[in-house]
Structure 1
């Protein structure tokens, strides 16, 4: 899984490991895993990952320990989309780099979330590109319950 660009989820995971005071232990924690894809080494998919040319950027707003989970698909998205960002969600102190990204004139942000769980005025059914702006798709990365909490408690995503 080595492309010519940075996988922001792996960078976030490395940062969280460096800040952690204890080891992340979960189901399957003793399995011998690939350090990149976190899949069991004999099923490693790193050699098959291919760069996807796209005219959009991706931002993964990750619930607390999501970057450590082998089942996390955000890491795979960040592996193939070159313009990718990952941040740990924080209700009270969002990362200043996240806020700067959301306010960057280069991007046109869209939060990807089921329509039935948000106010109707926030629902977009078709992306209308704005000249000179790159769509920035923001994925709330966690369980459905965590994602609902993230959308409700994050006024900066309005």
Structure 2
């Protein structure tokens, strides 16, 4: 029997977006019959690989509107694996949800925005957090805000939202990125949200959680390939 999973933060956000949408989101392969949990075509379902675990850090996924409905979105894998430690919100340029602002305010001393140290960030004189700050045992578990969209969308989300600039940022150093790429990745393209999160966990020393997420991402990639083939047949 196919396993059933309770809704996590990304599921609830997707459901809310569907309920409030002015028009349906129609993706490539929309006519295919899909699993309601993993969003793959039924023959490519990978729900049997989904096993929730504990996370030493918390996550806030901030979604671009175009990304939340995509079956190929990898951010939701974080919520699949760490459902009790992941919350999801839709990005708004100037008027974010009050619930999100309240959450950011409540965690202002133990929160970071995971985003590259761009030229704009450098010009603002932003000082990145150090690993020692994040792993301070006197603080509550650290929370990371992840901008979930394409690279272009994520850059737009950051640069157009001044309220995001108030959050200290955490930068994964280029040397750590190269090391992770050599050990785990088989490409030199921009990293997906799940990959950059696995890299973050590795960088913080949480190797077990990093490998679990990376392995789950690789299963997800294979399912996407199978689902795309089956979806084309059903169009």
Q: Distance in 2 between matches of 1:35 and 1:138?
A: 26
The alignment yields a C-alpha RMSD, in angstroms, of 2.1
Q: Distance in 1 between matches of 2:107 and 2:62?
A: 19
Q: 1:72 to 1:144 in 2, by over 3 A?
A: same
The alpha-carbon deviation at position 58 of structure 1 amounts to: 0.7
Higher helix share: 2
Which consecutive residues of structure 2, in runs of 5 or more, have no partner in the other structure? 167-235
Which consecutive residues of structure 1, in runs of 5 or more, have no partner in the other structure? none
Which SS does the other structure have where 2:158 is aligned?
A: helix
Q: Name the structure 1 match of 2:47.
A: 46
Q: Name the structure 2 match of 1:73.
A: 74
Q: Name the structure 1 match of 2:131.
A: 126
Q: Deviations over 1:113-144 (max 9, x none)?
A: 12245524243452523413211111100011
Q: Name the structure 1 match of 2:29.
A: 28
Q: Distance in 2 between matches of 1:149 and 1:106?
A: 23
The alpha-carbon deviation at position 2 of structure 1 amounts to: 4.9
Q: 1:146 aligns with which of 146, 150, 153?
A: 153
Q: 1:99 to 1:40 in 2, by over 3 A?
A: same
- Normalising to structure 1: TM-score of the pair? 0.88
The number of equivalent residue pairs is: 157
- Normalising to structure 2: TM-score of the pair? 0.61
1:7-26 to structure 2, matched below 5 A, reads 7-26=8-27
User: Who wins on radius of gyration, i.e. which is larger?
Assistant: 2
Q: 1:91 aligns with which of 90, 93, 100?
A: 93
Q: 1:6 to 1:102 in 2, by over 3 A?
A: farther
1:115 maps onto 2:117 in alignment: yes
